[in-house]
Chains A and B, each alone.
Chain A
Amino acid sequence: MAKKDIEKELRDLQSKLDNLKSEISDNSDTALLPIIKQMEDNASTLKVELYRKITPGERIQLARHPNRPTTLDYINYLITDFVQLHGDRRFADDHAMVGGIGMFEGIPVTVIGTQKGKDTKDNIKRHFGMPHPEGYRKALRLMEQAEKFGRPIINFIDTAGAYPGLGAEERGQGEAIAYNLYKMSTLKTPVISIITGEGGSGGALALAVADKVFMLTNSIYSVISPEGCASILWKDSSKAMDAAQALKIDANNLLQMGIIDGIIEEPEGGAHQDYAGMAENIKNKLRSALEELSQYEIEHLLEARYAKFRKIGVFKEG
C-alpha cells in the first residue's frame, strides 16, 4: 500500500475512534470497549507500516506531499510581526517567491522562500512554486536590503526548479540565477538556507549559497529531477526511481558528501503530520546556527562561505 493510502486509512480510523470515544464518555456504554481496542490495534499496525524505513521513492512522495508545510506556514509559526514585501522593481511580483521582514526570537530577520500553492487555484497563481526571473530578482533585492540593514537572512526552499517557459527565457532565467549565486557569495550578512521539500537544481541553489544549508529529513536536493534524469539518460522517465537512487539526493547522502551542514528531524510520519512540531525543530536549529554565525566577523564569514563552496568537487589532478 502506498504511504498516501495508509495515511488516509489511518486518518479515517482515528476519526472513527475519536467519535466512538466521545460516545462512550457520553453514555458510558462498555459494550463498545472491545471494538475500540481492536481499532486501536489496527491503528498502531498502520503506524508501524507508515513509519518503517522509507524507500527513496517514498521519500520523494513525502518531499512533494501536497500538505507539506510551505514557506508561509513556517513564517506563520516562526516569525512575529511579519511584513511581506513584494516585487522586483523591474517587471513584476512573482507569487512563486515570497519574502519580507519580521522578528525571529527577538531579532529582526529577512525571510525569503519559494512558495507552492495550497490548492489548484493557488498553485496556478504561484506557478506550482517554480519562480520566474522576477522571483529571483525579488529575492536578491530583499537580500541586499537585509545586507544594508545588517539583518540575517533565512531562506526556505521547496521548488521543483526554476520555471521553464517562454517568458522566463525572454527575461533571462539563466542570468537571474547566475546573478544570485554571484551576489550571494559576498553578501555581508549571515545567510541560512533550509531545504524543506524539493531542492530542484539551479532554481533551488539560487537561494542556497549560504553560510549554513540544512535539509529536513524527507527533503531532496538534486541537480536534476529523477524523472528528467531518467528520460535523458535512459529515454525512459519510468526509471525515475533508479535515477533517484543513483543521484543520491537525500539528506543523509548529502550530509556525508559535505554538501549540507545538518539535517532537521521531521515529526513522525513527515512534516505535514505536525506543523507545529516541525516548526519547533526548525526554530531550534535556526537559533543555534544564528548564535554560531553571529560570533564571526563578517570578513571571516565571507572567507568561510567562499571556502565552503570552493572545496566541493571530486577529481584527479592528473
Chain B
Amino acid sequence: MANLFIKCPECGTTHFNKILSKTLFVCPECGFHHKLTSMVRLKYTIDKGSFSEFDRKMRSMDPLNFPGYDDKLKNVIKQTGSYSAVIAGEAKIKGEPVVVMVMDTRFIMASMGSVVGEKIAKGFEYATEKKLPVVVFCASGGARMQEGILSLMQMAKTSAAVKRHSDAGLLYISVLTHPTTGGVTASFAYLGDIILAEPKALIGFAGPRVIEQTINQKLPEGFQRAEFLLEHGMLDQIVPREFMRDTLANLLKMHRVSILRNNKKFRIEQYGLK
C-alpha cells in the first residue's frame, strides 16, 4: 500500500491512504471494503506474534512453457515480495488455535495454480492431523490459465482435502472477500461449514461480462454481490470488517475440538455449565 491516495472503486471518492488505514480500509463514504494484502489481513485478524508460516517460499514453475508466464511470475514476485497468491500458517485468534490462509489479489489476481492448490491442500491436511479448525480468507479471479489443466485439477485436490478435514469432525470457516470468482468459488471457497462474506464483495462462478454476453441482457444492480448471495441463501452471514475478528473468535470458541469431537460423549464440563 505504497500509494498516498486510494480511489474507491465503488463510489469514486479518493482518500488518503493514512485515513483508510484507520478505518481498516473501509471507504468512509460508501462502506466499500477495499482489498487487503495478506499481511494486512493477518494483522487485523490474528493475535500479534502468533503466526508461524508454512512454505513461505513455495513458488510456481512454468510447466506448460506458457507464453509470457515466466516473466509475469518474476515481476509479480519482485513487486509484491511474496512468492505466491496465498499465505498459510498456524496462528491464534483471541487465543483460539487455528490454521489460517489468506489469498492476495495483488498476485496475478490470486488465481489458483499448482502452488495455491498445494498450499491450501497442505494447510487442510496439517489441520486434520493436528485437529485444528481452518479459516480461509478467499479472494480470486479463478483458475490460473497459464498452468492449464494443472490449475483445474487443484479444484479437485483442494476439495478432497477439505472433505478429509470435515470427515475428521473439524470446523472450516470460509470468508469470501472481494472478489471471489471462478474455480476458487467452485471449490474450497464454497465448502465451509460456515460461509461468511465481507459487505459488497463480488462473489460468483462466471464473470459478469461472460454472463452478459451469453444471455445478451444487462444484469440487475447488485448482481453477484454479497448481499445478493445472502438473499439467495448462498451465505451464512455478511460480516463488516470491524467485527470479523470477534465473529471468528466466537465461532471458533464454540467449536473447540476437545469439547466436541475427542470423545463420543458430549463433555459439558469443559465449558463449565452454569
B95 beta carbon closer than 8 Å to chain A? no
| Chain A hits for B161, CB < 8 A | 310
A205–B234 CB distance below 8 A: no
| B45 within 8 Å of A (CB atoms) | no
Find residues 98-149 in chain B having any chain A CB closer than 8 Å to their own CB.
114-115, 117-118, 121, 143, 145, 147-149
Q: What is the chain B residue whose CB lies nearest that of A200?
A: B152
Asked if residues A174 and B154 are in contact (CB atoms below 8 Å), the reply is: no
Q: Find the residue from A169, A221, A223, A242 having the highest chain B CB count within 10 A.
A: A223
Tell me which residues across on chain A come within 8 A of B88, comparing CB atoms. none
Cβ-defined contact, A174 with B185, below 8 A: yes
CB <8 Å contact, A209 and B156: yes
Interface centre among A182, A221, A247, A259 (most CB of B within 10 A): A182
- Say whether A174 contacts B189, CB under 8 Å: yes
Please determine whether A202 and B163 come into contact, CB atoms closer than 8 angstroms.
no
Task: A169-B224, A313-B118 are known; give 11 further A-B pairs, CB within 8 A.
Answer: A166-B211, A169-B223, A172-B190, A174-B185, A174-B189, A178-B191, A185-B160, A186-B167, A223-B183, A229-B145, A242-B67
Interface readout for A72-113 with B: 1 if CB under 8 Å, 0 if not? 000000000000000000000000000000000000000000
List chain A residues, Cβ under 8 A from B257: none
B148 touches A315 (CB 8 A): no
Beyond A165-B214, A178-B189, A313-B153, whether A233 also contacts B145 by CB under 8 A is: yes
What does DSSP make chain B's interface, helix, strand, loop or mixed? helix
Q: Report the nearest A residue to B207, measured CB to CB.
A: A164
CA–CA, A221 and B152, complex, Å: 10
Q: Known: A164-B214, A224-B143, A315-B59. Contact between A310 and B157, CB under 8 A?
A: yes
Interface size class of A (residues with CB under 8 A): 35 or more
CA distance A202 to B153 in the complex (A): 9
Collect the chain A residues with CB atoms within 8 Å of residue B186's CB.
162, 173-175, 177-178, 181, 202, 206
Chain A residues contacting B232 (CB-CB under 8 Å) are 170-172
How close is A199's CB to chain B, nearest CB, in angstroms? Answer: 9
Q: Does B55 reach chain A (CB closer than 8 Å)?
A: yes
Asked if residues B163 and A169 are in contact (CB atoms below 8 Å), the reply is: no
Residues of chain B with a CB closer than 8 A to A169's CB = 204-206, 211, 223-224
- In A194-246, the 8 Å CB interface with B consists of 201-202, 205-206, 208-209, 221-224, 228-229, 232-233, 242, 246
Please tell me if B210 contacts chain A, counting CB pairs below 8 Å: yes
A-B contact pairs, 29 of them (CB 8 A): A164-B211, A166-B215, A172-B233, A173-B205, A175-B185, A177-B155, A178-B189, A181-B156, A182-B160, A201-B152, A202-B187, A205-B152, A208-B156, A222-B149, A223-B145, A223-B147, A248-B148, A306-B164, A310-B121, A312-B157, A313-B117, A313-B118, A314-B150, A315-B60, A316-B60, A317-B58, A318-B55, A318-B58, A318-B83
Q: In the complex, what distance in Å separates the CA atom of A248 from the CA atom of B55?
A: 29
Closest to A254 in B: B149
Knowing A309-B156, A314-B63, say if A165 contacts B149 (CB, 8 Å): no
Pick the residue among A171, A221, A229, A310 that contacts B149 (CB under 8 A).
A221
Interchain CB contact under 8 A, A185 and B149 = no
Contact with B153, one of A182, A224, A247, A309 (Cβ below 8 angstroms): A309
Bound complex: CA A185 to CA B232 (Å) = 27
Most buried by B among A186, A305, A315: A315
